[in-house]
Amino acid sequence: DSSNMMSLSAVVSKLLQALNNLPPPNGNLSDVEQSDFIRKCVSQYTTMSLRILDMQLLLLRCAAAGKHSANFCTPIPDEFHGEGWLGERILAVTEQMNSTELLSGQRNLHKQEQALLGMLHSLPWSGQGTLTSSSSSQKSSNFELCFDMEAIRGEPSPRFSQLAKERGVATVFHGTKMENVWSILNCGLWTLSETKFCQHGSILGKGVYFSNNYRTATMFALNQARNCTNSESFQKAWWHFSLVNLLNLSSFNVLEEYTITCFPVFEAQIILPPADGMSTSDEDCTRREGNYFVVPNSWDIRITKLHLTFTFTKKRSMSPFLFAAILALLLIGWMKMYAQAHVLDE
């Protein structure tokens, strides 16, 4: 059993409900079938809130904007697979997907939207996200979104429970990139130490790296955010109804006026390393190096929360004095060119 997912009974229950609500596999839904489908989705989302749907759409768009979208946009409906860049197709399909409009039935959904909405509301993770403003000023604003999954994870796996009794657990933090969050929420935290996706080496050996300090984890996430989330593709991913709805922004104009950066940090419980002198045949035990933990076995990780910190930095506008100076320089340059041309004519 995976400690990163809900209990088996909860997953089965979700899947059965999802199968009952999914659209038929052949062709688009009729108007009557679509109305029934949307009504069932509305019923599902009123229990887990529209904000979760907004978060799902935003995280999927961020995964699509990353350079490894083919690997990290999982799960995704079969209707999205085909020739060309998968990320581009996802961004195009989700462009007009506004949660409020979507679930109110204000417009008909095309085939890919139907499939995506069915998949999103059938995912086994759901819960209450809480949004708080941590700081604000005229030049920048920070918003933190905390997605608490502890209550919806169900009981830990027997392996996790047994090792927790023997060795104990620790609350730790893992900073990552926005393009990875969608995959981690759905598939868990797995070691990338010996794969092409490992960017920072394995100085402490193979495993998933954690810190017992939240600030340390945010530093890793912040460095990742500076390197990727200001790219054109990520700014396109941000430009969406989901972000406006999540952060209660007044309008899309705010997105034009600010540069957006987001750094995600996962909070988790992990199995502690064996005590000194404790005999064990498990070669994949957790290791500790100062304030850092390395967990080779992903079954020893139980994700409990996702912290998303959004930073809005107001774009610098050109001052009137600077604008006048640039204009004067251009005018002087133009006059010099005109004078030289006039001398040559003579």
Angle (CA) 339 343 346, round 5° = 140
Residue 174, pLDDT > 90, answer yes
Structure letter (DSSP) for residue 22: S
| First-to-final CA distance of the chain | 90
* Span 10-20, pLDDT tens digits: 454 455 445 54
What's the one-letter identity of residue 75? Answer: P
Give φ, ψ of 231 to 5 degrees: -70, 165
User: pTM for this one?
Assistant: 0.76
Q: Which residues pair with 210 in a beta bridge?
A: 293
Q: Which residue has the higher pLDDT, 263 or 190?
A: 263
pLDDT given for residue 10 in this prediction: 47
Give the list of residues 6+ apart from residue 7 with CB closer than 8 angstroms, or none: 153, 154, 155
Q: Which residues pair with 303 in a beta bridge?
A: 268
* Span 177-190, pLDDT tens digits: 898 999 998 888 87
Work out the burial of residue 11: count CB atoms within 10 Å of its CB; fewer than 13 is exposed, 13-18 middle, 19 or more buried: middle
Please state, in angstroms and rounded to a whole number, the distance separating the CA atoms of residues 116 and 219.
34
Please state, in angstroms and rounded to a whole number, the distance separating the CA atoms of residues 169 and 166.
9
Residue 5, pLDDT > 60, answer no
Please report which confidence band the pLDDT of residue 168 belongs to, taking 50, 70 and 90 as the band edges. Answer: very high
Rg (CA), the chain: 25
Token code pair at residue 222? 């912040």
Q: Which residues pair with 208 in a beta bridge?
A: 295
